[in-house]
Amino acid sequence: MAELVPEPVFWTDDSSVCELLTHGEDVAAHFHDFGQLRYAVSGALVTATEVGTWVAPANRITWVPPFYVHSSRSYGETDVRVLGVPAALAERLSAEPSVFVASALIREAYLAVVSDREPVDSPRARLLLEVVVTELARAPKEPLRLPEPSDTRLKAVTDLLHADPASPATLRELGHRTGSSERTLSRLFSSELSMSFHQWRTLLRIQRALIELSEGTSVTDTAVRLGWANPSSFIDAFTNLVGQTPGHYRATARTTHD
């Protein structure tokens, strides 16, 4: 018998929320008719949709457009500050989920409007939200969207990798385990996800590395845990995708936590 998948829930409450999530806590799939910004003061928040996964450690803001079905999972004790964005303002931001680095100005305006006890439609709250949206509209996006497949053959492989990102299994070996040929899977990675198997697995590992580093794991231990042959290979891959070394990223993340 096929497993029943719950229908996404339509949430209508657009009020600001401060929520403490335990490690591994899930927020079920849902959507709303307003945009939503999500900032993790501590910990890390993973936002998943049918088309991709976004990771936001501390000091990152995740943007979810109106009507975009999404679910979440926390890593570490995650203190999340959620801010609703009216549809009129949401049009000024990306049409798909995105992750941004929170500048000092964005962070302070964001935390002020979320913690403000005034109504969300008060003049001060509207002004602070305008500052946040204006700054995010010109802020660079993190280039770390991990695309997710819809083809069941490819999804069987990516599910195995999600469960064990450090696995050294080749595409041929994964295909043998899931009942598909290496050639078919290679074609699907290219046609459906616009990247190779190696590129997809590297991006998955980098996403997990963001979480490990933000929790204080050393660069060497992170490299070993996630399957790199040596720290140098990890440092090169991380720097190419994130734009800074894992050591610098870890130091910045820890400063934010402290």
Residue 254 has pLDDT above 70, yes or no: no
| C-beta of residue 239 within 8 angstroms of C-beta of residue 245 | yes
Q: Which helix (H) or strand (E) holds 223?
A: helix 219-225
Which domain range does residue 177 map to? 149-257
Residues 110, 74: Cα–Cα separation, whole Å:
20
- Tell me the per-residue pLDDT of 151-184, one tens digit each, with 9 for 90 and over: 999 999 999 999 999 999 999 999 999 999 999 9
Q: 43 in the Ramachandran plot: left (φ > 0), alpha (ψ -120 to 50) or beta? A: left
Task: Report the half-sphere exposure of 151 (CA within 13 A, side-chain side).
Answer: 17
Do 245 and 189 reside in the same domain of the chain? Answer: yes
**Which of 17-21, 177-181, 196-200 is predicted least confidently?**
17-21
Do 131 and 157 reside in the same domain of the chain? Answer: no
Asked if the structure places residue 143 within a domain, the reply is no
- Tell me the per-residue pLDDT of 100-136, one tens digit each, with 9 for 90 and over: 888 899 999 999 988 876 677 788 888 999 999 999 9
Asked if the structure places residue 4 within a domain, the reply is no
CA 63 → CA 10, 37, 38, 223, distances in Å? 17, 5, 7, 29
User: pLDDT at position 25, please?
Assistant: 81
Do 159 and 131 reside in the same domain of the chain? Answer: no
Asked if the structure places residue 224 within a domain, the reply is yes
Query: How many independent structural domains does the chain possess?
Result: 2
Do 43 and 155 reside in the same domain of the chain? Answer: no
Q: How far is C-alpha 249 from the geometric centre of its chain's CA atoms?
A: 16
| Domain finish residue from 86, 117, 137 | 137
Report the predicted TM-score, pTM, of the whole model to 2 decimal places: 0.75
